[in-house]
Amino acid sequence: MSIEPTPPYFKRHIFFCLNERKNNEACCAQQDAQAAFDHCKARVKALGLAGPGEVRVNKAGCLDRCSGGPVAVVYPEAVWYTYVDQSDIDEIVESHLKNGQVVERLLTPAHLGR
């Protein structure tokens, strides 16, 4: 008996690291990641991209890419982004989440970890 794959519940997920570290260690929370998450969630909803079969905007704890922060990752493509401001988030939403086009200039360098 074979199991037929079902379509994914969401086409894409974007996870924003909102982790806050003690002792002033570098972390995404220090770089206003919560505001970026809030802006992305509002943009996705305003563009009608939210919900089943579309896009889900999620909070995440530490994604272990602190030196590249603030970071977000889009699945299922596993594309990592470093962003600076709301216009970067708008570009990620429009280009990647809506149209499936990776925003090359915002890619987190592969070697950056914690």
CATH code at position 63: 3.40.30.10
pLDDT at 3: 74
pLDDT at 108: 92
Residues 75, 59: Cα–Cα separation, whole Å: 13
pLDDT at 26: 81
Number of H helices, E strands in the chain: 2, 4
Beta bridge partners of 13: 56, 75
Q: Is residue 70 part of a domain?
A: yes
pLDDT at 88: 97
Residue 45 neighbours by CB distance under 10 Å:
13
Cis status, amide bond into 7, omega within 30 of 0? no
**Tens-digit pLDDT profile for residues 92-110:** 999 999 999 999 999 998 8
On whether the CB atoms of residues 60 and 15 are closer than 8 A, the answer is: yes
State the residue range of the domain holding 48.
Answer: 12-106
pLDDT at 95: 97
The segments of the chain whose pLDDT lies below 50 read none
Beta bridge partners of 79: 74
Q: Is residue 44 part of a domain?
A: yes
Residues 112, 10: Cα–Cα separation, whole Å: 28
Q: pTM (2 decimals)? A: 0.90
**Structural Rg of the chain based on CA atoms:** 15
pLDDT at 98: 97
pLDDT at 34: 95
Q: How many domains does the chain have?
A: 1
Q: How many CA atoms lie within 13 A of 110 on its CB side?
A: 2
pLDDT at 110: 85
Q: Is residue 16 part of a domain?
A: yes
Q: Is residue 24 part of a domain?
A: yes
pLDDT at 1: 64
Q: Is residue 6 part of a domain?
A: no
